DNA sequence: TTGTACGCGTTATCAA
DNA sequence: TTGATAACGCGTACAA
């Protein structure tokens, strides 16, 4: 691979001049520029990004940490972010934290050791204190799906409460009154918020809250299975089910079929997230759309603005989810 | 951030010695090592990976190119590869080629300009010639899901023909004789091979081949929709449908429901790939498992062996798919 | 077992 | 508008 030095020799100019035409960091006479460009072309020169990084103290890489690489949930997010950065010649380094504190820490350290210019974090196990420490250490990062006080200017969030509210409200408007709820793990903030939204909707419609009709799931498919079994074991009648995510909704739907229930006439189900398989279920799942793509886009914008000093207008900190009506909900009277 | 130089000063040894304890590249007296390690700890030293790369001419990064980041198909693959490499302190840079020749080329160039030590490629648009040229240029890469002569030692493949064969054979064994087939785009090698497998199974069971019962789809959900509509428009009766991937199978199943058919009693469906939503369909999809995880693992092994000289036993070049029986197929007599 | 000195390919700071 | 030349932080022959 040709180096900048060989280019300079072939073009008959100095090393510095070649660097200038590459980076447009200072004016270069038109004739010289052409000579240099010709030389670069002839040698098939491509700048060595590692050397550039060392000299400029910028790696042009952005670290991304998400809970899972495997699931359907983060694919769109990653895709969007990757695109955004590639267009400007930067690349992303992706790691998975698996919702484990140790692993999340390790991953962050790994990314930092890679000299990432910035980190985009979707962490859930690591403490607020740790994150504050990270910020104090001068690490540039944005937080997705999390709100840490004092770090609010680097948080990009979904209004989970609104989402939970919309889900339950939809059912209420369809005439349902006995609405069961399958939450996520209550130690997760988003699970709590979605649940609060559910309660608020009930309250607004004057429907008394019944704690029997709540089941704490695990955000996995089996959570939905267990929840439905549990609810059926009660002798409380219920006509609708809100699940705090689509995986659980899917588990509930499958179980309902297995129990011989007809959907949606005997049971309406609403999910949350609108993951890519939501319309593969039968009936197709009505759910709350989580605009992950937009959130990823915004995270990228944050980095572009705050780390690479690009002129970005405004950063939006909180996104509103929307109800997506498909076939799994049914009007009753 | 502390440098190796500061560590050496604090420990009262030379720069080279510090480097030795970091890389274990030469014996160091126990006492010295301890001094150095203490100094590193005190300064919170972490090696600068960029400088390491420049000096060693190794970036410790591996580029991965897949058609899509967004879909469910590659998530497991990426996840597996990322894991594999992180364990040994290397990281992956991921790009998407979108099955477009121009984009695939660009992506490869991008990855190369990033000084990746090796590339793991899942490309479909770029020509064999281009790939051979890449190899001649000294670029280290493995090819997944593709077979290029002269490059056979760097190809890791699925036996697609066997997969197609297994799918159709399963239906034949259940007593089906009128079996429709929805292929992928025929310019794709895997689509052709799967189709050949289908034909072979028919032949083996002495079932005459009927070209009317074949539809060329696009590997998308709509392909399955159109296929089923087309087959129904014929007045050929058929009791089973093989789809060359799960997306199309899903489309077909949905359409079947919409047409009021009862599944699987009126129509058996087999998919291919076993993507993560395959068991979210109703009925749960019987399909052919594509061991993407294993293939990713093997690609990583290839890199470890051929680029990082790690002692890896044997590299397997072709993987056998397996039938996964769920609820979408039905025995008839 | 340890130290010296040079090289890796750029960027950036001076002068000219 | 251009050219020397010093960083950047580390690996590694070669010497000791």
Over the stretch A295-304, which tens digit does the pLDDT of each residue have? 999 999 999 9
Asked if the Cβ–Cβ distance from A113 to B86 is below 8 Å, we say no
A277 → closest Cβ in B70, B253, B277: B277
Could you tell me how many CB contacts below 8 A there are between chain A and chain B? Answer: 112
The strand order across the sheet containing A268-270 reads A214-216, A179-183, A240-243, A268-270
- Residue B69 reports pLDDT greater than 90: no
- Residue A1 reports pLDDT greater than 90: no
Residue B185's pLDDT is 95
pLDDT band at A280 (very low <50, low <70, confident <90, very high): confident
Name which of A75, A5, A46, A12 is nearest B106 in CA terms: A46
Nucleic strand C near CB of residue A43 (< 7 Å): no
Residue A11's pLDDT is 92
Task: Provide mean pLDDT across the span B300-312.
Answer: 91
**DSSP letter (8 states) at residue A212:** G
Q: Is the peptide bond before B283 cis (omega within 30 degrees of 0)?
A: yes
CA distances (Å), A310 to each of A83, A144, A314, B237, in order? 17, 21, 12, 62
pLDDT band at B256 (very low <50, low <70, confident <90, very high): very high
Asked if the Cβ–Cβ distance from A115 to B48 is below 8 Å, we say yes
Residue B48's pLDDT is 92
Chain-wide mean pLDDT for chain B? 92
Tokens of B195: 């189709």
Among chain B residues, CA nearest to A72 = B72
B82 → closest Cβ in A69, A91, A114: A69
Nucleic strand D near CB of residue B4 (< 7 Å): yes
Task: Provide mean pLDDT across the span A227-256.
Answer: 95
Q: Which nucleotide is nearest to B23 (CA to C1')?
A: D11
**DSSP letter (8 states) at residue B268:** E
Chain A residues within an 8 Å CB radius of B114: 49, 91
Euclidean distance between CA atoms B111 and A92, whole angstroms: 11
Q: Which fold has domain A160-290?
A: Rossmann fold (3.40.50)
Nucleic strand D near CB of residue B266 (< 7 Å): no
pLDDT band at B110 (very low <50, low <70, confident <90, very high): confident
Nucleic strand D near CB of residue B20 (< 7 Å): yes
**CB A128, CB A189: distance < 8 Å:** no
Helix and strand numbers (H, E) in chain A are 12, 12
Residue B205's pLDDT is 97
Q: Is A51 exposed, middle or buried (0-12, 13-18, 19+ CB in 10 A)?
A: middle
For chain B, give percent helix, strand, coil, nearest 5: 45, 15, 40
Torsion (CA) B71, B76, B80, B86 in degrees, nearest 10: 50
Asked if the Cβ–Cβ distance from B276 to A71 is below 8 Å, we say yes
The pLDDT tens digits for B154-190 are 999 999 999 999 999 999 999 999 999 999 999 888 9
B157 DSSP β-pair partners: B318
Nucleic strand C near CB of residue B49 (< 7 Å): no
What stretch(es) of chain A map to CATH 3.40.50.2300? 61-158+292-320, 160-290
Task: Provide mean pLDDT across the span B129-137.
Answer: 94
CA-to-C1' distance for B55 and C8, Å? 5
Highest-pLDDT range among A72-76, A135-139, B239-243: B239-243
Q: pTM for the full model?
A: 0.87
Which carries the bigger pLDDT value, residue B311 or residue A51?
A: A51
CA distances (Å), B322 to each of A27, B158, B166, B271, in order? 63, 11, 8, 12
Residues 7-46 of B with CB under 7 A from strand C: 12-17, 20, 26-29, 31-33
The pLDDT tens digits for B25-49 are 888 899 999 999 999 999 989 999 9
Chain-wide mean pLDDT for chain A? 92
D9: residue with closest CA to C1': B51
- The architecture that CATH gives domain B4-56 is Orthogonal Bundle (1.10)
Task: Provide mean pLDDT across the span B78-101.
Answer: 89
Chain B residues within an 8 Å CB radius of A71: 75, 276
Question: Which class is domain B61-158+292-320?
Answer: alpha beta
Q: Which nucleotide is nearest to B50 (CA to C1')?
A: D9
Asked if the Cβ–Cβ distance from A93 to B95 is below 8 Å, we say no
The pLDDT tens digits for A210-232 are 999 999 999 999 999 999 999 99
Residue A200's pLDDT is 98
Asked if the Cβ–Cβ distance from B276 to A72 is below 8 Å, we say yes
**CB A328, CB A285: distance < 8 Å:** yes
Find all residues with CB under 8 Å of A29, minimum gap 6, and list them: none
Asked if the Cβ–Cβ distance from B86 to A93 is below 8 Å, we say no
Euclidean distance between CA atoms B76 and A72, whole angstroms: 10
pLDDT band at B72 (very low <50, low <70, confident <90, very high): low
**CB A59, CB A92: distance < 8 Å:** no
The pLDDT tens digits for A156-185 are 999 999 999 999 999 999 999 999 999 999
pLDDT band at B71 (very low <50, low <70, confident <90, very high): low
Nucleic strand D near CB of residue B53 (< 7 Å): no
Residue A71's pLDDT is 67
Asked if the Cβ–Cβ distance from B53 to A50 is below 8 Å, we say yes
C13: residue with closest CA to C1': A16
Nucleotides on chain D that have an atom closer than 7 A to a protein CB are 1-13
* A contact test, residue of B91, B252, B253, B287 with most A CBs within 10 A: B91
Among chain B residues, CA nearest to A248 = B280
Residue B273's pLDDT is 94
Residue B74's pLDDT is 84
Task: Provide mean pLDDT across the span B89-107.
Answer: 91
The pLDDT tens digits for A24-57 are 888 889 999 999 999 999 999 999 999 999 999 9
Q: How far is B271 from chain A (nearest CA, A)?
A: 14
* B contact test, residue of A58, A71, A104, A280 with most B CBs within 10 A: A280
pLDDT band at A72 (very low <50, low <70, confident <90, very high): low
Euclidean distance between CA atoms A81 and A65, whole angstroms: 12
- Residue A88 reports pLDDT greater than 90: no
Nucleic strand D near CB of residue B59 (< 7 Å): no
Which carries the bigger pLDDT value, residue A276 or residue A132?
A: A132
Residue A89's pLDDT is 84
Asked if the Cβ–Cβ distance from A75 to B93 is below 8 Å, we say no
Residue B61's pLDDT is 93
Asked if the Cβ–Cβ distance from B115 to A69 is below 8 Å, we say no
Among chain A residues, CA nearest to B283 = A282
Euclidean distance between CA atoms B95 and B70, whole angstroms: 11
Task: Provide mean pLDDT across the span B297-325.
Answer: 92
What stretch(es) of chain A map to CATH 1.10.260.40? 4-56
Q: How far is B224 from chain A (nearest CA, A)?
A: 13
% of chain B at pLDDT higher than 70: 99
B91 DSSP β-pair partners: B61
The pLDDT tens digits for B198-222 are 999 999 999 999 999 999 999 999 9
Task: Say which residue the tokens 């940490």 belong to.
Answer: A65
The Cβ-side half-sphere exposure at A159, using a 13 Å CA radius, reads 14
Task: Provide mean pLDDT across the span A259-279.
Answer: 92
Chain B residues within an 8 Å CB radius of A82: 69, 94-96
């Amino acid at each position: 691979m040709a180096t900048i030095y060989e280019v300079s020799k072939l073009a008959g100019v100095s090393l510095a001049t070649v660097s200038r035409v590459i980076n447009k960091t200072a004016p270069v006479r038109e004739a010289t520029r052409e000579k240099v460009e010709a030389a670069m072309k002839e040698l098939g020169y491509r700048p060595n990004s590692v050397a550039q990084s060392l000299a400029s103290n910028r790696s042009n890489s952005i670290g991304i940490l998400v809970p899972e690489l495997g699931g359907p949930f983060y694919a769109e997010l990653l895709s969007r972010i990757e695109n955004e950065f590639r267009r400007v010649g930067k690349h992303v380094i992706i790691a998975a934290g698996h919702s484990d504190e140790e692993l999340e820490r390790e991953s962050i350290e790994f990314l930092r050791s890679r000299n990432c210019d910035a980190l985009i974090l979707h962490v859930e196990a690591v403490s607020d204190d740790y994150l504050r420490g990270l910020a104090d250490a001068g690490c540039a990062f944005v937080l997705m799906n999390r709100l840490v006080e004092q770090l609010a200017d680097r948080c990009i969030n979904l209004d989970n409460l609104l989402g939970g509210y919309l889900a339950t409200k939809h059912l209420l408007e369809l005439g349902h009154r006995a609405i069961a709820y399958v939450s996520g793990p209550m130690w997760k903030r988003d699970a709590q918020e979605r649940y609060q939204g559910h309660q608020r909707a009930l309250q607004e419609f004057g429907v008394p809250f019944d704690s029997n009709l709540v089941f704490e799931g695990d955000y996995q498919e089996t959570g939905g299975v267990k929840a439905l079994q549990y609810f059926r074991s009660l002798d409380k009648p219920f006509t609708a089910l809100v699940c705090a995510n689509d995986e659980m909704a899917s588990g509930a739907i499958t179980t309902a079929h297995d129990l011989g229930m007809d959907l949606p006439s005997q049971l309406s189900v609403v999910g949350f997230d609108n993951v890519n398989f939501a319309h593969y279920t039968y009936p197709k799942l009505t759910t709350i759309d989580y605009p992950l793509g937009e959130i990823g886009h915004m995270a990228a914008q944050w980095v572009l603005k705050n780390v690479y000093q690009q002129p970005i207008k405004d950063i939006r900190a909180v996104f509103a989810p929307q109800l997506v009506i498909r076939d799994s909900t049914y009007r009753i009277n």
